[in-house]
Structure 1
Amino acid sequence: MEHRHTHPHTLPHRIDLIVYPGFKSLEAIGPMSVFDYANIHLRARGQRDGYEVRITSAAQGVVQSDTLMALQATQSLGELAERGTGCTVIVVGSRHIETVLGTSGELVQWLQVMAVRVPRLIALCSGSFFLAEAGLLDERRAATHWSVAKALAQRYPRVQVDADAIY
């Protein structure tokens, strides 16, 4: 019989989901749903929640996506820098990434400063443009959504874009 050790004082794995005006709603809902379902399954086994997802943006408040959906950012990038990030930071992509990139200088600067303090930094699909703009992908292999792989390679020649990679 398998014996599981539960640690009553273990905190959930914190996920900081970074959104901005025009973010791709599907790319925010996907991770939120995955971690929520994981918590449901853990509770069903009598265990504590394993994940806590927090929504972060340049400022607290409602952040409009690329659809009718908006999310409530409960913390700003500045607050996240002061308090410390979670175990994982996820930057979602945008359908209009190059336009959004031009209006998201604060996020790019935040990534440049915080990258060394973040245990796990993930960009979903076209969110990789934010990491590239911050210089974090220079001389590294990177993947992005197939529809913007050529644009990523052209805009950031120091990034080794793998157009065929799924992850």
Structure 2
Amino acid sequence: MSIDEMNHRSEHQHPAQVQPRTVIFVAYPQMGLLDLTGAQTVFWAATRSLGELGLPGYDLHTASLDGGSIRTGEGLVVETQRLGELADSLIDTLIVPGSPHMRQVMADSAPLVDWLRVAATTARRTTSVCSGSFFLARAGLLDGLRVATHWLMADLFERMFPQVELDREAIFVQQGSVWTSAGVSAGIDLALAMVEADNGREVAMQVARRMVVYYRRPDNQEQWSPLLQSQCPAGA
């Protein structure tokens, strides 16, 4: 077996993993619903697939600073735990969804940013979906890194965080333990990539089949795909 093959196997095999990995979806008012539920469904489906193999999956929590009901940007109300209740949890992955109202959300972001700054020091992996990258950047977690965010928010992001290298084309980016993604459905691609990193390609493919989605788009695919561009009216 080559060194590359050994490294590939060791990346996906975790023989000491006997408990589910704790994944916290960080909720806040006006967050995007699909930003939350798209990635969440990937980890839920992965847990089902892993359970069929007799392997631990993921322990999923949707939590906010105060707990209780959180109204999403689309108007649906989501029930959440209080983040403080999870303070003693061994956090594997933090996932911060974006918001269609990020300008307004950022005005009241300080308490959640402070929590993220501390929690990220012990989490194995810190991630954002869509404009959730604004929270990570404000917490100083993206300084000097290449990241992705929704293309509609790119100009604002670059003005606010010149110390971060924004990749306007990528649908998701991994930089060490930090993962970021472009808008909305790209969170599904991001989550599938993380499931593959944790458990291997076959489990990720099973999840994609359960969800009836592409196995996953490559991370360097443009947010405006050639197919989408071809469907736009001339001059649009």
Q: Using structure 2 for the length normalisation, give the TM-score.
A: 0.62
Paired with 2:111 and 2:90, the residues of 1 have a C-alpha distance of 16
Paired with 1:84 and 1:37, the residues of 2 have a C-alpha distance of 22
2:163 to 155, 158, 164: 158
The superposition leaves residues 87-130 of structure 1 with CA deviations (integer Å, 9 ceiling, x where unpaired) of 00101100011211111211111122222112100011100000
Equivalent runs, 1:7-156 vs 2, <5 Å: 10-45=18-53, 47-74=54-81, 76-80=82-86, 82-156=87-161
The superposition leaves residues 17-55 of structure 1 with CA deviations (integer Å, 9 ceiling, x where unpaired) of 00100000001111221112112223334x245011101
Paired with 1:111 and 1:40, the residues of 2 have a C-alpha distance of 29
Paired with 2:57 and 2:129, the residues of 1 have a C-alpha distance of 21
What letter is aligned with 2:57?
G
In percent, how many aligned pairs have the same letter? 36
Give 4+ residue runs of structure 1 displaced > 6 Å after superposition: none
Paired with 1:107 and 1:85, the residues of 2 have a C-alpha distance of 19
Q: Which residue of 2 aligns with 1:3?
A: none
- The answer to which of 12-21 and 107-116 deviates more is 107-116
Superposed CA RMSD in Å reads: 2.2
What letter is aligned with 1:73?
T
What letter is aligned with 1:23?
M
Tell me if the contact between 2:48 and 2:57 (Cα under 8 Å) persists in the aligned partners. Answer: no
Tell me if the contact between 1:88 and 1:118 (Cα under 8 Å) persists in the aligned partners. Answer: yes
Q: Which residue of 1 aligns with 2:206?
A: none
Tell me if the contact between 1:77 and 1:107 (Cα under 8 Å) persists in the aligned partners. Answer: no
What letter is aligned with 2:27?
V
Question: Residue 85 of structure 1: CA displacement?
Answer: 4.5
Q: Using structure 1 for the length normalisation, give the TM-score.
A: 0.86
Tell me if the contact between 1:16 and 1:54 (Cα under 8 Å) persists in the aligned partners. Answer: yes
Paired with 2:168 and 2:52, the residues of 1 have a C-alpha distance of 40
SS at match of 1:90: strand
The superposition leaves residues 49-92 of structure 1 with CA deviations (integer Å, 9 ceiling, x where unpaired) of 50111011011111111123222112x23333x31352001011
Aligned residues: 160
